[in-house]
């Protein structure tokens, strides 16, 4: 038994139909433009085997304009990443920029996607996915304290 990890855009995943038994999409869909969410959910459904388990994490329940950083230049963005997110994140973005792996905007991002659980459940159903359960996202800090978010939800889905 091995682990096969692939990277791709949410609306064009580089995998064959019905080839994946488990999908983790954590902290991803909230940065996808709202108009691409239905296509992204259909793409997740396309690659999922029947009865596949799908985890979609940290989906905002309401508009979060303060969470979206906006930069006029790449150096401004990199300087912010270094100061606010640390050397590892800074070097990771430099690597992504230099290798061409960073596809899509890193500057002037549009409004992040958000949906109430009922709205997201309808979108998932239209894509052929069933939400088994949804619940507030939980974060464990370095002291092992758990905090629950009222603003972000996690979803466990299955392909129909």
- Quote the pLDDT of residue 66: 52
Does residue 5 surpass a pLDDT of 70? Answer: yes
CATH of domain 17-68+111-160: 3.40.50.150
Whole-prediction pTM: 0.70
Give tens-digit pLDDT for 40-78: 999 999 999 999 999 999 898 877 655 556 677 788 888
Q: Comparing C-alpha atoms, which of 58, 46, 55, 59 is closest to residue 22?
A: 55
Domain ranges for the chain, please list them.
Answer: 17-68+111-160, 69-108
Q: Comparing C-alpha atoms, which of 126, 130, 150, 154 is closest to residue 29?
A: 154
Higher pLDDT, 71 or 13: 13
């Amino acid at each position: 038994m091995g682990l096969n990890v692939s990277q791709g855009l949410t609306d064009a995943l580089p995998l064959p139909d019905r080839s994946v038994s488990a999908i983790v999409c954590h902290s991803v869909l909230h940065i996808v433009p709202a108009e691409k969410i239905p296509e992204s959910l259909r793409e997740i459904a396309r690659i999922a085997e029947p009865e596949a388990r799908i985890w979609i994490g940290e989906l905002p329940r309401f508009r979060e304009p303060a969470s979206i950083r906006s930069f006029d230049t790449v150096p401004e963005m990199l300087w912010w990443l270094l100061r606010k997110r640390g050397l590892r994140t800074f070097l990771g973005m430099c690597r992504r920029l230099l290798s061409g792996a960073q596809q899509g905007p890193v500057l002037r991002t549009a409004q992040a996607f958000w949906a109430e659980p009922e709205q997201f459940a309808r979108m998932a159903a239209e894509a052929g996915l069933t939400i088994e359960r949804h619940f507030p996202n939980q974060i464990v800090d370095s002291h092992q304290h758990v905090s629950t978010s009222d603003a972000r939800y996690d979803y466990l889905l299955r392909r129909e």
